[in-house]
């Protein structure tokens, strides 16, 4: 164990500084050695100004970085968000408050930059609540047993339809997906029902299509399918891999859906029917789908879509409550006064929300009496519509000062389609 107290600082422009930081981040994620190749590849993602390290005895022992992200809110508008990632503390320096100190600095910097909230994907559930993050989207991992599901004749016939009225699924090369994918995903993120979606960088598309490989990353190449409507416009994309086993081998053939993004219901159904009817396949695994994905109900026997895992995915930490709540749409018109507690002193205060339904809302500081008092992490869980204020009330995690206020909050905040984020970062 080192002798000096670790000192926190932001990275400099020196390339060796970044490399030492990357080595520490790898060690924190339990990877003992990093090749020169990997250091070079990963360095491209690091913005030194948004990257912190803690240094003891000349070595980096703790890491944390953020990057600028766009987060879609209910209604389809997006807000600037600070995505927190690579939070690690080397095993020799844990439980001394280093992570907490780095997060405090990262959140303060995000607030100063005008980022409306911070986001992350939590390695362990108990870590981030105390820093004001709450689980804001959930995801479901499905495993479809095709022998049980049976054949959905009508669906398959629609998928196979030909002629001037019919759209079609085509397989495209990775290079073509790099052209078709980004504008399609932009359209998807702008849909009123896409709350929880986050933007994808050029780097994301390159990594997804095999154009950027991290050494040691043995992810197999993917097939990429595009659904085009009868005018030839791309309306959906799906990427998948197959283990190339036959249906009668043991274990039998499995298709893994890496992603499926569609901007029309027609494209969504057509892509699912395509994926469910690839030869040799007995099992289709689809991870990180929306909890209310149509997949089970597409099957003649919906119970054939077993839920392997249902888990929290994107965690949010409000930083600017008025900006966050006035950028989203609401299910109906109504008023609500929220007293938000934030021990870090970043987002606390009393706010009056004046929602005008699907036309957005006003939200500003107020001296009116509060309807509900809640912590900032509870607001993180409620702000996209995933969590229910009624449930948090039953748990004693928010206080109601007017009978029915939690119900009213649910009427305003919850969404017809559940918020969903399918991307890891």
Residue numbers in the known binding site for acetyl-CoA are 87-89, 95-100
Annotated binding site: 87-89, 95-100
Structure-block tokens of residue 143: 């495993």
Which residues, including other chains, have CB under 8 Å from residue 191's CB and lie 6 or more apart?
76, 263
Pick the closer one to ligand ACO by CB: 127 or 190.
127
* Least distance from ligand ACO to the Cβ atom of residue 61, Å: 9
Q: Tell me whether residue 29 is one of the annotated catalytic residues.
A: no
Centroid of chain to Cα 162: 36
* 127 touches ligand ACO by CB under 6 A: yes
Cα separation, 82 vs 115, in Å, equals: 6
Pick the closer one to ligand ACO by CB: 131 or 273.
131
Q: 406 near 392, Cβ under 8 Å?
A: yes
Backbone angles phi and psi of 15, in degrees to 5:
-60, -35
Q: Which of 24, 26, 61, 87 binds ligand ACO (CB under 6 A)?
A: 87
* Least distance from ligand ACO to the Cβ atom of residue 91, Å: 8
Closest CA to 70 of 83, 88, 51, 53: 83
Q: What is the DSSP string of 328-356?
A: S--SSEEEEEEEEE-TTSSS-EEEEEEEE
Region binding ligand ACO by CB under 6 A among candidate stretches 96-104, 213-221, 322-330, 411-419: 96-104
Q: Tell me whether residue 274 is one of the annotated catalytic residues.
A: no
* Least distance from ligand ACO to the Cβ atom of residue 136, Å: 14
Cα separation, 39 vs 34, in Å, equals: 7
Q: Which of 35, 92, 100, 332 binds ligand ACO (CB under 6 A)?
A: 100
Closest CA to 286 of 250, 241, 247: 241
Q: Which of 42, 86, 111, 224 binds ligand ACO (CB under 6 A)?
A: 86
What is the contact mask toward ligand ACO in residues 304 to 343, using x (rule: CB under 6 A)?
A: ----------------------------------------
Quickly tell me which residue has 């086993």 as its tokens. 245
* 169 touches ligand ACO by CB under 6 A: no
Q: Which of 11, 46, 79, 99 binds ligand ACO (CB under 6 A)?
A: 99
Window 12-71: residues binding ligand ACO (CB under 6 A): 28-29
Q: Which of 35, 49, 114, 123 binds ligand ACO (CB under 6 A)?
A: 123
The Cα angle at residue 421 between residues 184 and 240, in degrees rounded to 5: 60
Strands, sheet with 78-89, edge to edge from the N-terminal-most edge strand: 7-10, 51-56, 59-72, 78-89, 117-121, 314-318, 134-135
Of 29, 55, 67, 128, which one is the catalytic site residue? 128
Region binding ligand ACO by CB under 6 A among candidate stretches 78-86, 109-117, 183-191, 221-229: 78-86
* 119 touches ligand ACO by CB under 6 A: no
Quickly tell me which residue has 């849909």 as its tokens. 191
* Least distance from ligand ACO to the Cβ atom of residue 37, Å: 23
- If DSSP codes are grouped into helix, strand and coil, which group holds residue 268? helix
Catalytic residue positions?
128, 425
Q: Which residues bind ligand ACO (CB under 6 A)?
A: 28-29, 84-89, 94-100, 120-124, 126-127
């Amino acid at each position: 164990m080192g002798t000096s107290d670790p000192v926190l600082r932001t990275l400099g422009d020196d390339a060796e500084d970044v490399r030492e930081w990357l080595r520490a981040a790898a060690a924190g994620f339990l990877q003992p050695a990093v090749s020169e190749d990997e250091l070079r590849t990963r360095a491209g993602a690091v913005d030194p100004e948004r990257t912190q390290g803690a240094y003891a005895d000349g070595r980096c022992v703790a890491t944390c970085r953020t990057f600028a992200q766009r987060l879609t809110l209910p209604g389809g508008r997006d807000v600037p968000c600070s995505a927190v990632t690579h939070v690690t503390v080397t095993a020799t320096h844990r439980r001394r408050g280093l992570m907490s100190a780095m997060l405090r600095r990262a959140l303060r910097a995000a607030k100063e930059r005008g980022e409306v909230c911070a986001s992350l994907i939590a390695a362990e559930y108990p870590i981030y609540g105390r820093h004001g993050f709450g689980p804001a989207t959930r995801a479901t991992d499905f495993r479809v047993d095709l022998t049980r599901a049976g054949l959905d004749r009508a669906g398959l016939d629609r998928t196979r339809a030909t002629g001037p009225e019919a759209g079609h699924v085509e397989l495209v090369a990775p290079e073509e997906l790099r052209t078709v994918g980004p504008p399609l995903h932009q359209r998807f993120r702008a849909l009123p029902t896409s709350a929880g979606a986050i933007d994808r960088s050029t780097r994301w598309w390159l990594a997804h299509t095999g154009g950027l490989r991290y050494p040691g990353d043995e992810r197999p190449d993917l097939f990429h399918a595009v659904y085009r409507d009868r005018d030839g416009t791309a309306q959906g994309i799906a990427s998948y891999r197959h283990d190339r086993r036959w249906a009668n081998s043991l274990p039998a053939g499995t298709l893994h859906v890496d992603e499926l993004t569609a901007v029309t219901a027609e494209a969504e159904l057509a892509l699912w029917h395509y994926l469910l009817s690839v030869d040799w396949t007995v099992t289709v695994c689809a991870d990180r789908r929306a909890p209310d994905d149509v997949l089970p109900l597409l099957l003649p026997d919906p119970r054939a879509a077993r839920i392997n895992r249902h888990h929290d995915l994107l965690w949010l930490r409000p930083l600017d409550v008025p900006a966050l709540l006035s950028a989203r749409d609401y299910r109906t018109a109504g008023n609500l006064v929220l007293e938000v507690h934030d021990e870090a002193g970043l987002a606390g205060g009393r706010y009056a929300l004046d929602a005008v339904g699907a036309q957005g809302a006003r939200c500003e500081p107020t001296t009116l009496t509060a309807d509900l008092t809640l912590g900032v992490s509870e607001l993180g869980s409620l702000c996209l519509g995933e969590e229910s204020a009624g449930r948090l009330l039953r748990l004693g995690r928010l206080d109601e000062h007017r009978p029915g206020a939690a119900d009213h909050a649910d009427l305003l905040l919850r969404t017809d389609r559940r918020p969903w984020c399918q991307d890891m970062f």
